[in-house]
Structure 1
Amino acid sequence: MNMLAIGVGGLLVAGGAYLSFVQKKKTEGKITELKFMRPLSLAEFSDTWKSLADEGLGDSFRDMVATHGKAETDGELKAPYSETPCAYFEATVIREFEKEERKRDEDGNMRVTTRRSSETISSRKSPSPLYIADGDVRVAVDMDGASLYLRDGEDRFEPFDSKKTYSFFGVQFTAPASGGTLGFRYKESIIPLGHPLYVVGEGRKSGGALRIGKPSEAGKPFIVSTRSAEEVIENLKGSAKGTFYLGIALMVIGAAVAAFMH
């Protein structure tokens, strides 16, 4: 009996079961919470905190909030590739290359195939703080740990020029001696300046100001989105369905591996 096949099959079945039932249930829990969470304007959110602060309870204020506003930041921020005015960006440089793979066929002959691949060689996130604003109320958003729904920015490919010196975000790039570099893909995702934002997270006082950040209770949603609440919920529904079917597929494959490769 092939114990390795049984072990691999068992791991696939276990992983599939986790995706189909545990992970799907977690996602569905977030969907339910978002559906029944009452949206709060930034003015209402700020007034609630001020009322508690007047009673000496402002420092201990922590509450889940879903709110809307417009994206702002400090100073003038532009996306690095498109130079679009924005409140937040994530930019990456991806090296696309070809590499040879050598394999012996069934007759013992060496076969050489060329495979195209890619790797991220540099990335950067905007250093400026993000705010959600409405009227004269502006609240900082601590981005760490958030599920982000960003807008697509620049996405372009530049062929590699061996005579050119490349530097990405201040770090010089040296092409691998093995060669094969086809070029670089520059991609960015952004929150345009002034774009409507939907934010769900934990409101609290931090650094002397009101902020929204990652909930202290595990499993609670933390979302920063350029899409509407309805679009986020539909996206999560699709994710839950995809996770379920992927899990089922893994369980079927795992059972087949364990049954037919022993």
Structure 2
Amino acid sequence: MIVFFIFGAVFLLVAIVAFGSMRHARSELHAMIGTQTLPVSDLEVRRSASREVVPAGEFRHTCEVVGTAEARPEGPLQSELSGSPCVWYRFVVMRHYEQVTRSSNGSRNVRRRTETLAETNSWESFGVRDDHGQLIGLDPGGSAVDEPQKVIDQFEPHGPSGGPTMFGVQLPNAFGGHDGTTGYSYQEWIVPQGRRLYVLGEANDRAGTLMISRPLGGGHFIVSTRSEQEVREGRRKRHRTLSYAVLGSALAGLVLIGLGFLA
């Protein structure tokens, strides 16, 4: 009987989590539909006009900007693992290991598991040049980019000396020794210079120049290599899939709890 209650509660918890994700996807979709795509020159005009009512540094306007990624004046970034020139990067390093347990009858059970050792999004600002040739700064603030270009997806077996190997080169065991390690996987994504971007965020002059970044006080911030239409369609599909998950998990949870009362 208690098993029905436990599994019923798990399904209801899944329904609650899926409902929250569904609402977020719907909110993002509504934000994209209700926000105007503006050229950078229009934002500069709005910023200049705002000086009559707000001081410099306090201009804020939610908008969408479309254009191509451009490196900062210091030059492009170099991604951490592959050294690829880019304006933004993300990498993940994971350890793969085997966990050995013994059951009550003495049999040996091996489970394959993973743990994340390092995971980083770049924070450096870069530019977006719109279709009219005007440039605006983009502050990613450590946020993820939607659909970046994957440049590394590699697994390296555990080296005999105990440290990880990366692309055939043995590295020092900076992560500490772990029994059962079978290897390390490396993944890296970049946004190369010249890649077309769709951005939803807040245009502001907090840094002294016109930038677009995550809105202060909450709000949606999307940086994507896909078009606005593609991003919208993705959010619609996610919302539809999650709505089915909410309905199915909630029904399954209620049925199981009902069976628990009847058992």
State the AA in 1 paired with 2:244.
Y
User: Which residue does the alignment assign to 1:261?
Assistant: 260
Structure 1 stretch displaced more, 118-127 or 141-150:
141-150
Cα distance between partner residues in 1 of 2:9 and 2:175: 43
| Percent of residue pairs bearing the same amino acid type | 24
1:84-131 Cα distance to aligned partner (Å, 9 max, x none): 211000111111112213223xxxx23322121111112233353232
Written as runs of structure 1 = structure 2, the 5 A alignment for 1:115-154 is 115-134=111-130, 137-144=134-141, 146=143, 148-149=145-146, 150-154=148-152
1:18-41 Cα distance to aligned partner (Å, 9 max, x none): 634x54244223213313432111
Change (3 A) 1:98 1:10: closer
Match of 2:91, SS state, is strand
User: Which residue does the alignment assign to 2:59?
Assistant: 61
Written as runs of structure 1 = structure 2, the 5 A alignment for 1:27-106 is 27-53=25-51, 58-74=56-72, 75-104=75-104
Change (3 A) 1:18 1:95: closer
Deviation at 1:162, TM superposition (A): 2.0
Cα distance between partner residues in 2 of 1:29 and 1:198: 17
Written as runs of structure 1 = structure 2, the 5 A alignment for 1:213-232 is 213-216=213-216, 218=218, 220-232=219-231
Deviation at 1:185, TM superposition (A): 0.7
Backbone CA RMSD of aligned residues: 3.0
User: Which residue does the alignment assign to 2:175?
Assistant: 173
Change (3 A) 1:17 1:119: closer
Cα distance between partner residues in 1 of 2:133 and 2:244: 46
Change (3 A) 1:170 1:203: farther
Q: TM-score, normalised by structure 1?
A: 0.82
Change (3 A) 1:79 1:59: closer
Q: TM-score, normalised by structure 2?
A: 0.82
Q: How many residues align?
A: 253
Match of 1:96, SS state, is strand
Q: Check conservation: 2:162, 2:177, Cα contact below 8 A.
A: no
Cα distance between partner residues in 1 of 2:135 and 2:183: 42
Cα distance between partner residues in 2 of 1:205 and 1:166: 44
Match of 2:210, SS state, is strand
Match of 2:119, SS state, is strand
Cα distance between partner residues in 1 of 2:88 and 2:144: 14
Change (3 A) 1:216 1:165: closer
Cα distance between partner residues in 1 of 2:161 and 2:24: 52
Deviation at 1:221, TM superposition (A): 2.2
Q: Check conservation: 1:167, 1:173, Cα contact below 8 A.
A: no
Match of 1:261, SS state, is helix
1:152-188 Cα distance to aligned partner (Å, 9 max, x none): 2211111111226449999812221xx2211111101
What are the ranges of 5 or more consecutive residues in structure 2 without an aligned counterpart?
A: none
Cα distance between partner residues in 2 of 1:23 and 1:47: 37
- Higher share in strand: 1
Cα distance between partner residues in 2 of 1:123 and 1:151: 17
